[in-house]
Structure 1
Amino acid sequence: MENSAKDTWVLVTGGTGFVGVHVILQLMQKGYKVKTTLRSLKRKEEVLDMLRHGGIADFKNLRFIEADLMKDDNWKEAVRNCTYVLHIASPIFLALPKDENEMIRPAVEGTLRVLKAARDAGVKRVVMTSNFGAVGYSHKDPYTAITEKEWTDPNEKGLSSYNKSKVMAERAAWDFIQREGGSLELSAINPVGIFGPSLGPDISSGFELVKNLLDGTMMAIPNLTLNIIDVRDVADLHVRAMTSPAAKGERFLALAGGKISMPEIAGLLREKMPVISAKVSTKTLPDWVVRIAALFSPKAKAIASMLKASRNVSNGKARNVLGWEPIATNEEAILLSVESMLKFGNIK
């Protein structure tokens, strides 16, 4: 157990989420006392089941608070006595709204609501989950590596409303700290595509991508290149950024290293999991077809916007500053995602 962890309260926002529950798991394994916010306490048992699946049996140091990013209710209680806040929750949309501000405003306002509550409660540091979309989508030179010094232009042509909401929320967070944060410290984690083992049946958007490959929904595969990170490595990076003095005022890209394309993922599935990969397409979709489809389909538009993104991304800062070493390769994280979907019945 880490020094003084047993006396330290940490708030994790969004405890039902793929990343959030893994962060809670690692904090409890290290002996921290944890509070987590849920939009509805009706989902408390889901979180407990996921943590049991991760090996936790004693929940005396875990507290649940019902709190919504768009409401002031209960945030004062949530941050009370907490030394750290890991702000992982994001506003939830079942479908992309027609008006991008419907996604941007909740992301920005929710982040500011958490930061203000943390500041007023005397919290030492907030670690917020941003994403790669806030860093690298305006990078044009494929021969130079993308680092944390860069920012995506929120007016970048073709940028999805989700990525725009992330860059606007992170910008708002840093502006808040500079203008009125007082003694509150801030760090940001910027993950790429998150895969790896799930602790429950709810699947992330990345899992959905692989599921569409396996069930044949994706009848032809876009030549899309991805960077990938295992969810356990994302959680580890949050915990390291929480306590490291060197993480104050810094952002950290989270990726395993290297890149992998959708056709390569399809080949990996056919090679390593042939029994369930019979429906995985062998056809590659030309980029021009994706761009034409983007004129009519929101999903195709999101893919088209990613085709031009550079995937020459560095994880050197997280390694060098925080001593972080990812435990899973791109391929391992993908295969662990599939194993989780098999285990929880998401795929047959």
Structure 2
Amino acid sequence: MAEVLVTGGTGYIGSWCILALLNAGHSVRTTVRSLSREPELRAMLQRGGAAADAPLRVVTADLTKDAGWPEAVRGCDAVLHVASPTLTSTPRSDEEMVTPARDGVLRVLRASRDAGVKRVVLTSAIGAIAYGHPDWDRPFTEDDWTDVDAGIEPYQKSKTLAERAAWDFIREQGNGLELATVNPTGVLGPVLGPDFSPSLGLIQRMLNGSMPVSLKFASGYVDVRDVADLHLRAMTDPAASGQRFIATSGQSLWVRDVAAILHRRLGERADRVPTREMPVWAARGLSLIRPELRPLRALLGKNLDATSEKAQRLLDWKPRPVEDTITETAESLLALDTATG
């Protein structure tokens, strides 16, 4: 079994990657910016089923600094680089998001190469594939790249430029280091702690009534446990070296479709979930005065359908049905509200 570093272990995807690695028998170390978060991380992992004495070591390293990374990767067979700047309700500037994402990737890759790591799996995003394009008439694939010159939001730009920088590094300076990327669509699934993905926030707002109408856009969705499983397959399968893999379950869903699933599966517990859809023109106008809607402005009216056929064919990856994931996400969020309320 391998010794694996997971960057950003307290994050939503990172914590589930740690659980998947531990369940597969690997030894794990993970980076946090402050060791003060170690008790919280270990509590999250135990909620996910990890043993209290699981082979996990927590170390400090910051993507914006060189210090700590050589020590973090020393002796590791593989690295899952999950940590990255995340989308917030108040959009950041390009510089605030792009620089740490790109520079952080290069720090991890450089340290991994120098330490003799065999393979790095980078958590990228559908944001590096499906944004900035005109009207699209087919599902997006791993051959597609986001157009960073098309006025896209800083988060998608950061994911695209960070992934591009990673592939350039491997080609020009990798010295045999292998790279694979996982590009998830909207990530849903059970909640272990307070770090949410943007898609989880969407479900939460639908459940608590703070999103009274559905916005008109369509996206793919995928279970966080399946995202973690795909990271492990990309880490271990020889066929994954040098490849990108979209992680999505089935076809894309309009927000109104997600709402309908919640009503069908949850019954009266979905009473606050919207039943109406806001026209695109109205949503665009509202986004001018509601900063949290600005990142969605470019998506309005669009269908960002994508296919995970490549991951299923090359790595035998089998994502669970998206309706089950949406239901379990809602159940988990409702339980969290009950526990904290």
Relative to the length of structure 2, the TM-score reads 0.94
Distance (whole Å) between structure 2 residues aligned to residue 304 and residue 236 of structure 1 = 32
* Structure 1 runs not aligned, ≥5 long: none
Residue in structure 2 matched with residue 84 of structure 1 by the alignment: 78
Residue in structure 1 matched with residue 97 of structure 2 by the alignment: 103
Residue in structure 2 matched with residue 171 of structure 1 by the alignment: 164
For the Cα contact (< 8 Å) 2:284–2:300, is it kept in 1?
no
Distance (whole Å) between structure 2 residues aligned to residue 178 and residue 104 of structure 1 = 21
Percent identity, please.
44
Instruction: Report how far residue 78 of structure 1 moved.
Output: 0.5
Instruction: Report how far residue 201 of structure 1 moved.
Output: 4.2
Q: Is 1:32 equivalent to 2:17 in the alignment?
A: no
Distance (whole Å) between structure 2 residues aligned to residue 279 and residue 93 of structure 1 = 25
Alignment length (residue pairs): 340
What aligned pairs does 1:177-256 form with structure 2 within 5 A after superposition?
Answer: 177-256=170-249
**SS in structure 2 at match of 1:119:** helix
Instruction: Report how far residue 219 of structure 1 moved.
Output: 2.0
**SS in structure 2 at match of 1:345:** helix
For the Cα contact (< 8 Å) 1:201–1:344, is it kept in 2?
no
Relative to the length of structure 1, the TM-score reads 0.93
Distance (whole Å) between structure 2 residues aligned to residue 116 and residue 96 of structure 1 = 32
* Structure 2 runs not aligned, ≥5 long: none
Distance (whole Å) between structure 2 residues aligned to residue 172 and residue 61 of structure 1 = 32
**SS in structure 2 at match of 1:299:** helix
Instruction: Report how far residue 298 of structure 1 moved.
Output: 3.0
Distance (whole Å) between structure 2 residues aligned to residue 196 and residue 44 of structure 1 = 23
- Find 1:267's aligned residue among 260, 263, 268: 260
Output one character per residue of 1:300-323: Cα deviation in whole Å (capped at 9) or x when no partner. Answer: 222221125443311110011111
Distance (whole Å) between structure 1 residues aligned to residue 148 and residue 16 of structure 2 = 30
Distance (whole Å) between structure 2 residues aligned to residue 238 and residue 305 of structure 1 = 29
Output one character per residue of 1:204-227: Cα deviation in whole Å (capped at 9) or x when no partner. Answer: 321211111112111221122121
Residue in structure 2 matched with residue 134 of structure 1 by the alignment: 128
For the Cα contact (< 8 Å) 1:293–1:301, is it kept in 2?
no
For the Cα contact (< 8 Å) 1:18–1:204, is it kept in 2?
yes
Q: Is 1:322 equivalent to 2:283 in the alignment?
A: no
Distance (whole Å) between structure 1 residues aligned to residue 92 and residue 223 of structure 2 = 31
Which deviates further from its counterpart, 30-39 or 213-222?
213-222
Tell me how large the CA RMSD over aligned residues is: 1.8
**SS in structure 1 at match of 2:304:** coil
Distance (whole Å) between structure 1 residues aligned to residue 265 and residue 55 of structure 2 = 40
Output one character per residue of 1:229-281: Cα deviation in whole Å (capped at 9) or x when no partner. Answer: 00010000000000111111100000011121111222222222123222222
- Find 2:11's aligned residue among 17, 20, 24: 17
Instruction: Report how far residue 91 of structure 1 moved.
Output: 2.5
- Find 1:338's aligned residue among 319, 330, 333: 330
For the Cα contact (< 8 Å) 2:205–2:211, is it kept in 1?
yes
Distance (whole Å) between structure 1 residues aligned to residue 118 and residue 283 of structure 2 = 46
For the Cα contact (< 8 Å) 2:89–2:292, is it kept in 1?
no
Output the amino acid matched with 2:294: K
**SS in structure 2 at match of 1:222:** coil
CA gap of 1:211–1:132, structure 2 versus 1, over 3 A, is same
